[in-house]
């Protein structure tokens, strides 16, 4: 049996690794993995067609500047899949690239079985992408409980909520197993703030000055307040340069494990809007979110159709987490919002209750990789005639 993966980011590779391990457990040595992958799939025996780092591009301007290379890699991937004729193709995230691959394969090989994992965020941006996904894939595996309904309502493919990989992270489980979460420290001990300005250079450039002012104002309002800032190695020098202008200095944390350990002790967080907001929500850390788009994306902001950009809010179904963008990233305002979350207030109590509901809504009985492996095998076993008629 031959199973192909098409993906373009490290996070997708980690998901693919879990799927591959689950499939290997079921099929033993009678399975071969081909296509695109990173370190996780390499450990499962996949020799990637090319380095997926070439596809990890953020921002409209960066994509346009590397368009010839991207188109060449697109053609290469399609030609490879048509030559290999795998039993099933699994596309993961990176919708702009992976769905184009799936569509081109489908047009030349209608019987191809294709499963998508991590569908596009149609709930926030371009809902018409649901129809494009349906034209390319047979089934989609969603990481958020609200997504299958969104896909159905917008003409997307059948979808199954499989759970988010974060739910199985042992570092998260360790936090939740403690007696009390979200920094429930002894009375009289100063609170601790977690500062998360993002992991990409552009995010850090646009937000660090604001975050420094917010922390300085909070420090004036809450005597003894401390803060920590996790920093990934590739942007550490930029963070250090930005921190040199801050009036009050946080403690720098190095490594992902240190970041997760801080989730277990922080009273609240100031974070760049993004995936980290879901990590904070599942760890039970109250938060305020902020973001500034790059200039090109800012001009295209009218294309954002979702009522919120915060994942915790989508899952909760209401504006649980405050979010501030561009001209609304006002240090005095955000400092006061955070102060209410750092103290024993109704705002803090309400957000903690909402974050607990999010954890309950996202809970699943099995690891996502196991459920996705079942979906993949179901497509392989499904008769082609049924697949063509949508039965």
Whether residues 218 and 147 share a domain: the answer is: no
Whether residues 51 and 109 share a domain: the answer is: yes
Structure tokens, 286: 């109250």
Domain that holds residue 358: 171-362
- DSSP class per residue in 70-125: HHHHHHHHHHHHHHH--SEEEEES-HHHHHHHHHHHHHH-TT--EEEES---TTTB
Question: Is there a contact between 155 and 127 (Cβ–Cβ < 8 Å)?
Answer: no
Whether residues 262 and 312 share a domain: the answer is: yes
Distance CA 189, CA 56 (A): 43
Burial class (CB within 10 angstroms; exposed 0-12, middle 13-18, buried 19+) of 269:
buried
Q: Cβ of 170: how many Cβ atoms within 10 Å?
A: 8
Structure tokens, 150: 């969104």
Whether residues 85 and 214 share a domain: the answer is: no
Whether residues 190 and 293 share a domain: the answer is: yes
Whether residues 125 and 30 share a domain: the answer is: yes
Whether residues 37 and 155 share a domain: the answer is: yes
Whether residues 264 and 354 share a domain: the answer is: yes
CATH number of domain containing 253: 3.40.50.2000
Interior angle at CA 358, CA 256 and CA 274, nearest 5:
45
Q: What are the C-alpha distances in Å from 276 to residues 54, 56, 95, 124, 347?
A: 24, 18, 20, 17, 21
Whether residues 142 and 210 share a domain: the answer is: no
Structure tokens, 21: 């391990």
Distance CA 171, CA 153 (A): 36
What letter would DSSP give residue 55? Answer: G
Question: Is there a contact between 273 and 211 (Cβ–Cβ < 8 Å)?
Answer: no
Whether residues 188 and 225 share a domain: the answer is: yes
Tens of pLDDT along the chain (391 residues)? 999 999 998 889 999 999 999 999 999 888 999 999 999 999 999 999 999 988 866 555 556 667 788 899 999 999 999 999 999 999 999 999 999 999 999 999 999 999 999 999 888 878 899 999 999 999 999 999 999 999 999 999 999 999 998 888 888 888 877 644 444 566 678 899 999 998 888 889 999 999 999 999 999 999 899 999 999 888 899 999 999 999 999 999 998 889 999 998 899 999 998 889 999 999 999 999 999 877 667 676 766 767 888 999 999 999 999 999 988 999 999 999 999 999 999 999 999 999 999 999 999 999 999 999 999 999 988 776 454 434 3
Whether residues 22 and 149 share a domain: the answer is: yes
Total tally of structural domains belonging to the chain? 2
Residue 323, H or E segment: strand 323-325
DSSP H helices in the chain: 10-27, 39-43, 60-65, 67-84, 95-108, 129-136, 147-153, 170-176, 201-221, 236-243, 256-263, 275-283, 295-299, 311-316, 331-342, 346-362, 368-381, 384-389
Whether residues 129 and 255 share a domain: the answer is: no
Phi, psi of 273 (to 5 degrees): -60, 130
Question: Is there a contact between 227 and 214 (Cβ–Cβ < 8 Å)?
Answer: no
Which is nearest to 195 in space by CA: 218, 224, 229?
229
């Amino acid at each position: 049996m031959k199973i192909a993966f098409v993906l373009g980011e490290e996070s997708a590779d980690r998901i693919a690794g879990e799927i591959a391990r689950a499939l290997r457990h079921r099929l033993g040595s009678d399975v071969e993995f081909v296509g695109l992958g990173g370190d996780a799939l390499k450990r499962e025996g996949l020799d990637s067609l090319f380095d997926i780092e070439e596809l990890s591009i953020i921002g409209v301007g960066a994509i346009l500047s590397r368009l010839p290379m991207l188109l060449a890699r697109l053609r290469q991937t399609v030609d490879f899949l048509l030559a290999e004729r795998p039993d099933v193709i699994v596309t993961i995230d990176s919708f702009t690239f992976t769905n184009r691959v799936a569509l081109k394969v489908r047009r030349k090989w209608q019987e191809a079985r294709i499963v998508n994992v991590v569908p596009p965020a149609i709930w926030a941006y371009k809902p018409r992408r649901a129809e494009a996904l349906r034209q390319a894939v047979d089934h989609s595996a969603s990481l958020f409980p609200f997504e299958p309904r969104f896909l159905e309502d917008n003409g997307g493919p059948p979808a199954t909520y499989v759970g988010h990989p974060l739910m199985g992270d042992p570092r998260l489980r360790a936090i939740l197993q403690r007696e009390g979460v979200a920094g429930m420290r002894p009375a009289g001990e100063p609170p601790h703030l977690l500062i998360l300005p993002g992991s990409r250079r552009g995010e850090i450039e646009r937000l660090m000055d604001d975050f420094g002012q917010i922390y300085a104002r909070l420090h004036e309002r809450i005597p003894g307040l401390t803060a920590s800032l996790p920093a990934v190695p590739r942007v550490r020098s930029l963070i250090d340069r930005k921190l040199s202008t801050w009036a009050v200095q946080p403690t720098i944390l190095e490594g992902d494990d240190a970041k997760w350990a801080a989730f277990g002790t922080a009273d609240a967080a100031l974070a760049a809007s993004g995936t980290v907001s879901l990590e904070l929500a599942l760890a039970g850390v109250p938060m305020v979110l902020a973001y500034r788009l790059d200039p090109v994306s800012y001009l295209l902001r009218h294309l954002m159709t979702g009522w919120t950009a915060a994942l915790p809010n989508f899952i909760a179904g209401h504006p649980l987490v405050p979010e501030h963008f561009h001209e609304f990233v006002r240090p005095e305002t955000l400092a006061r919002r955070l102060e209410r979350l750092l103290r024993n207030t109704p705002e803090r109590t309400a957000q903690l209750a909402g974050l607990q509901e999010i954890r309950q809504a996202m809970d699943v009985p099995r690891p996502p990789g196991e459920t996705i492996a079942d979906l993949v095998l179901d497509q392989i076993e499904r008769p082609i005639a049924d697949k063509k008629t949508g039965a």
